[in-house]
Amino acid sequence: MPVITAPHAFNEGSLFVDLESIFGYRLYLKCEGFNFAGSIKLKAANEMVESAERDGTLTPDSILVESSSGNLGVALSMIAASKGHRFLCVTDPRCNLSTKLLMEALGGHVHVVTDQDSNGGFLGTRLEYVRSLCASDDRYVWLSQYTNAGNWRAHYRTTAPEIAAQFPQLDVLFVGTGTAGTLMGCARYFREWHRPVRIVAVDSMGSVAFGGKPGRRMIPGLGMSMRPPLLDESYVDEVIQVEEADTIRTCHRLARRGYLFGGSTGTVVSAATDWLARQDARGLTAVAIAPDLGERYLDTVYQTNWLQDLYGDRLLDAAGPAATVWDEEPAPRTRQARRRRT
């Protein structure tokens, strides 16, 4: 059992779930939510903060500021609290309430922008607000997860080697794309590896990260309303875009087997199972990366009224067997009550 003195010192990197019994395909899911920040973003946050401290950009008088839809903001709030830094997260209305409360509980401050940018998202507005803060006061230090090489280096040094150690015969890797930090770190690592690995990038429908048409996106995490500056498509073999309805169905299907994952994980698993269904996947070793767990999505992805208001009453009809329903007095027996590829 490890004994730590700082919350960012613990991060479980070797846990994988075999999803074959749920989806019928041999797919291993790398679970990145088992740390004190609750997501894969802890790795990038720690790398970027420590780099800024080493080069003198981040000092005791600094105020960390970052644009985030949620998970990176939580990770930076936690690290800032541990190290004695001040932190401000600039987010938007899609950020889950529980995520905002987590950041504030950790001592972070949260500013929510409400105006959409030209692509119908909020990222452009968030970045404009961050730039204005930095121009107004030189105490603000913007790590800029969108352009910071520490974002992808964190996964080159940790996430990819963790996968390689467990699966030395890896054939295909499915990685969700937001800032493209996880994608590029893993893709660069496996480009140099001892065997070819097919890199499949997963994006949300409505994201313009890979040149798609902008559209409504209600689930934070994956997708961008601009092209990610870190993205180099020469490292990517294939891109799959996933409708949010399919994301939600996949999340609920996993939850009905006891695995409560976040929206980004639902998107990646949906894409991976679709890809495997279209291939002769026998003998292939396939891994997908699960960025976080599902507790922060209880008031959205797992909340009936939210789902019905946005997606209609029949959204979950194709999600698999219904959840077990109990009578008022529980008895010994129970009764059971389109993706596009670019």
pLDDT digits (tens, 9 = 90+) for 243-277: 999 999 999 999 999 999 999 999 999 999 999 99
What's the mean pLDDT in 145-164? Answer: 97
Letter for the amino acid at 32? E
Give 168-225 pLDDT, tens digit per residue: 999 999 999 999 999 999 999 999 999 999 999 999 999 999 998 888 888 887 888 8
Supply the pLDDT for residue 324: 34
Q: HSE-up of 261 (CA within 13 Å, CB side)?
A: 32
Strand order, beta sheet including 340-341: 16-18, 27-31, 286-290, 172-176, 198-204, 238-242, 340-341
d(CA 228, CA 209) in angstroms, rounded, equals 6
- 199, 186 contact by CB (below 8 A): yes
Q: Which residues pair with 261 in a beta bridge?
A: 293
Q: Which residues pair with 321 in a beta bridge?
A: none
Q: Which residues pair with 31 in a beta bridge?
A: 290
β-pairing, 238-242 with 340-341? antiparallel
pLDDT at 338 over 60: no
* Alpha helices for the chain (secondary structure H): 20-23, 41-54, 71-83, 97-105, 123-136, 149-154, 160-166, 181-191, 244-255, 263-277, 304-311
Mean pLDDT of the chain: 90
Q: Which residues pair with 140 in a beta bridge?
A: 63
Supply the pLDDT for residue 323: 36
**Number of other residues whose CB lies within 10 A of the CB of residue 22:** 20
Instruction: At 48, give phi and psi (nearest 5°).
Output: -70, -40
What's the mean pLDDT in 294-318? Answer: 89
β-pairing, 63-67 with 324-325? unpaired
Q: HSE-up of 3 (CA within 13 Å, CB side)?
A: 0
Q: At what angle do helices 263-277 and 244-255 cross, to 10 degrees?
A: 100
Instruction: At 268, give phi and psi (nearest 5°).
Output: -65, -45
Supply the pLDDT for residue 1: 62
| Residue 21 token pair | 């019994």
Supply the pLDDT for residue 336: 34
pLDDT at 7 over 60: yes
333 falls in which pLDDT band (50, 70, 90)?
very low
**Number of other residues whose CB lies within 10 A of the CB of residue 132:** 10
| Residue 81 token pair | 């609290």
Supply the pLDDT for residue 331: 40
Percent of the chain, pLDDT > 90?
79
pLDDT at 316 over 90: no
Letter for the amino acid at 37? A
User: Which distant-in-sequence residues (6+ apart) come within 8 Å of 341 by Cβ?
Assistant: 238, 239, 240, 241, 274
pLDDT at 328 over 90: no
β-pairing, 109-112 with 86-91? parallel
> Which run of H or of E encompasses 119?
none
Please tell me which residue, 235 or 312, carries the higher pLDDT value. Answer: 235
Q: Which residues pair with 27 in a beta bridge?
A: 286
